[in-house]
């Protein structure tokens, strides 16, 4: 399952962190009496024949697809080799971990600079086992970058209640003096999980459903669930081979699961992480990211925000709201392509 908060715009990976072209595609300068232009074997419009494109000032971005090695590493020994770069491992190796994290072992060429770790597997979190269920958590101790939101992976048996109320017995009776209550049989500790004798079923709340090619999401926030003033949620589904478009959240961080995700920070820093069932991730506010489904089944994940409203900005929308001349000058896009961007 690979869902790249990735957009069906494979172009984005080339635009935001592309490597230099291979030697056989290196542009050569061709001079005439008045100017210098670039020529290249890379696919793309010729600046001398298509007046819609401005003349390039740097080589074209690489067209390397940077495919994930997830399937490849399941069938052979994982090695930190991509193309002509890297070498095999001569020392000890945790093969299972390397198979789960192919884009850490053999990162795509679009990775650049440094990005803090944004992945944590709940399998490494200490588990709290109680009558009626269990719970394990992720916080800043396990993922230091996640300073504004934490995650809990919890299982409650049917009819179990999760409740935590601190009650020092010595302070209860003075506080409730005059009331006919007895505290002789209260527990000596927090119960945390309590099996109940009855169950309550809540109706399903329908949220908005943004859709795009290869993926869709269902959003629930304060606009559809009025009492939710501090949390918003999106259930995202990405089909096999699909991609959650490149986007970012302007004000809130994000928790993710089950995907290949590339996170773009400032100043050309980018890093790719792999997610499997049971993993949790954190994307800081305004960090661009895409999710790609690189598996053989539909990818499903929850995006959770410490906010009353769900907000995101896609690369498509950002470019559409940018003056066309600036887009053309930076990305060498034609007027026809720019006109198809959606606000």
Which residues are designated catalytic?
Answer: 303
Q: Report how far apart, in Å, the C-alpha atoms of 320 and of each of 67, 96, 231, 335 are.
A: 28, 43, 29, 12
- Both tokens assigned to 60: 């074209």
Residue keyed to tokens 């699961």 = 257
Which 3-state string (H, E, C) describes 137-185? EECCCCCCCCCCCCEEEEEECCCEEEECCCCCHHHHHHHCCCCCCCCCC
Q: Report how far apart, in Å, the C-alpha atoms of 48 and of each of 72, 160, 337 are.
A: 42, 71, 18
* Contact indicator for 336, 50 with CB cutoff of 8 Å: no
Report, in this order, helix, strand and coil percent for the chain, each rounded to 5: 15, 30, 55
**Number of C-beta neighbours around residue 216 at 10 A:** 16
Question: How many angstroms separate the CA atoms of 44 and 22, rounded?
Answer: 16
Question: How many angstroms separate the CA atoms of 200 and 216, rounded?
Answer: 30
- Scored b (16 or more CB within 10 A) or e, 41-72 reads eeeeeebeeeeebeebeeebbbebebebbbee
- Both tokens assigned to 156: 């409650």
Q: Which of 330, 279, 341, 262 is nearest to 104 (CA)?
A: 262
First CA to last CA across the chain, in angstroms?
30
User: Please, which residues bridge with residue 208 across strands?
Assistant: 219
């Amino acid at each position: 399952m690979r869902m790249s908060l990735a957009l069906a715009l494979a172009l984005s990976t080339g635009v935001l962190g592309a490597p230099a072209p291979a030697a056989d595609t290196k542009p050569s300068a061709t001079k005439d009496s008045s100017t210098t232009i670039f020529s290249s074997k890379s696919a793309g419009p010729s600046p001398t024949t298509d007046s819609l494109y401005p003349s390039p000032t740097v080589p074209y971005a690489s067209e390397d697809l940077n495919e994930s090695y997830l399937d490849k590493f399941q069938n052979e020994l994982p090695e930190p080799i991509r193309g002509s770069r890297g070498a095999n491992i001569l020392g000890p190796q945790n093969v299972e971990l390397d198979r789960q994290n192919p884009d850490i072992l053999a990162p795509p060429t679009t990775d650049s600079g440094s990005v803090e770790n944004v992945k944590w597997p709940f399998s490494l979190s200490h588990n709290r086992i109680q009558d009626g269920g269990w719970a394990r958590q992720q916080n800043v101790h396990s993922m230091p970058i996640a300073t504004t939101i934490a995650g809990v992976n919890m299982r409650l048996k049917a009819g179990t209640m999760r409740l935590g109320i601190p009650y020092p017995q010595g302070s209860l009776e003075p506080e409730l003096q005059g009331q006919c209550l007895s505290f002789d049989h209260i527990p000596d500790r927090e119960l945390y999980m309590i099996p109940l004798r009855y169950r309550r079923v809540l109706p399903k709340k329908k949220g908005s459903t943004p859709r795009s090619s290869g993926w869709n999401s269902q959003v629930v926030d304060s606009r559809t669930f009025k009492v939710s003033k501090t949390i918003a949620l999106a259930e995202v589904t990405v089909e096999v081979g699909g991609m959650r478009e490149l986007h970012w959240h302007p004000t809130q961080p994000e928790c993710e699961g089950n995907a290949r995700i590339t996170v773009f920070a400032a100043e050309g820093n980018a890093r790719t992480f792999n997610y499997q069932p049971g993993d949790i991730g954190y994307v800081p506010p305004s960090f661009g990211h895409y999710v790609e489904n690189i598996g053989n089944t539909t990818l499903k994940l929850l995006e959770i925000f410490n906010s009353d409203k769900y907000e995101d900005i896609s690369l498509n929308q950002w470019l559409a709201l940018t003056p066309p001349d600036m887009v053309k000058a930076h990305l060498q896009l034609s007027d026809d392509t720019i006109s198809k961007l959606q606000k």
